[in-house]
């Protein structure tokens, strides 16, 4: 006489482990974080080469003079990433995408131009 197989109920794989595939929102979020990191790194190099007066954001410039470039840019970028995370977690992905483009156009491209010696 054959016995029936034992079936465990409620032991499925957690939802987070089930074939997760990133979508456009995750790529936008990753691009936002990468652009923030690039801006922070290039800003640090730019301020190290040209002095704190080159920083265009007066609040960040104050942080630089008060705490130094490493702490100032770290605080500024962590704050920006936190704000982006709030937008991402509340499903405002289009705003994250818009801010990513704004940072590329108004922060990363000018730093690349300045640091590459074009200006």
pLDDT at 117: 83
Contact assessment for residue 32 and residue 82, using Cβ atoms and an 8 Å cutoff: no
* Model confidence pLDDT, tens digit, residues 55-64: 989 999 999 9
At residue 57, the 3 state secondary structure works out as: coil
Determine, yes or no, domain membership for 11: no
What's the rounded mean pLDDT across residues 63-86?
Answer: 95
Pick from 13-17, 49-53, 75-79 the range whose average pLDDT is largest. 75-79
Determine, yes or no, domain membership for 55: yes
Count of Cβ atoms closer than 10 Å to residue 44 Cβ: 17
CA distance 80 to 36: 8
Determine, yes or no, domain membership for 101: yes
Query: What is the 3-state composition of the chain as percent helix, strand, coil, each rounded to the nearest 5?
Result: 75, 0, 25
Q: Count up the domains in the chain and report the number.
A: 1
């Amino acid at each position: 006489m054959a016995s029936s197989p034992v079936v465990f109920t409620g032991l499925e794989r957690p939802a987070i482990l089930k074939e997760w595939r990133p979508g456009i929102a995750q790529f936008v979020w990753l691009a936002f974080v990468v652009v923030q990191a690039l801006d922070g790194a290039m800003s640090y190099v730019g301020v190290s080469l040209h002095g704190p007066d080159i920083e265009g954001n007066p609040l960040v410039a104050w942080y630089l003079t008060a705490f130094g470039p490493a702490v100032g840019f770290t605080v500024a970028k962590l704050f920006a990433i936190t704000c982006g995370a709030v937008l991402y977690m509340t499903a405002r992905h289009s705003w994250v995408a818009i801010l990513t483009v704004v940072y590329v156009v108004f922060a990363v491209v000018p730093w690349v131009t300045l640091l590459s010696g074009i200006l």
